[in-house]
Amino acid sequence: MIYSSELIKGTLKTIILKLLKDNKRMYGYEITQRVKELTNDRIHLTEGALYPSLHALEADGILTTETEYIGKRVRKYYSLSPKGKNVSKEKISEFADFMNTMKFLLDIKTDIA
Partner DNA sequence: TCCAATACATAAGAATCTGATGTATATTTG
Partner DNA sequence: CAAATATACATCAGATTCTTATGTATTGGA
Contact 10, 49 (CB under 8 A): no
Q: Is 113 in the site for DNA (CB under 7 A)?
A: no
Helix, strand or coil, per DSSP, at residue 4: coil
φ, ψ of residue 76 to 5 degrees: the values are -115, 110
Query: Minimum distance from CB of 85 to DNA (Å)?
Result: 20
Contact 28, 51 (CB under 8 A): yes
Q: Is 44 in the site for a second copy (CB under 8 A)?
A: no
Q: In angstroms, how far is CA 58 from the centroid of its own chain?
A: 14
Q: Using alpha carbons only, give the angle 90, 52, 24 rounded to the nearest 5 degrees.
A: 50
Only one of the segments 34-42, 44-52, 59-67, 69-77 lies at the binding site for a second copy (rule: CB under 8 A); that segment is: 34-42
Judged by CB under 7 A, the chain residues 16 through 75 that form the site for DNA are: 27-30, 33, 46-49, 51-56, 70-75
Q: Is 1 in the site for a second copy (CB under 8 A)?
A: yes
Q: Which residue ranges make up the site for a second copy (CB under 8 A)? A: 1, 3-4, 6-11, 13-15, 18, 35, 38-39, 42-43, 92, 94-113
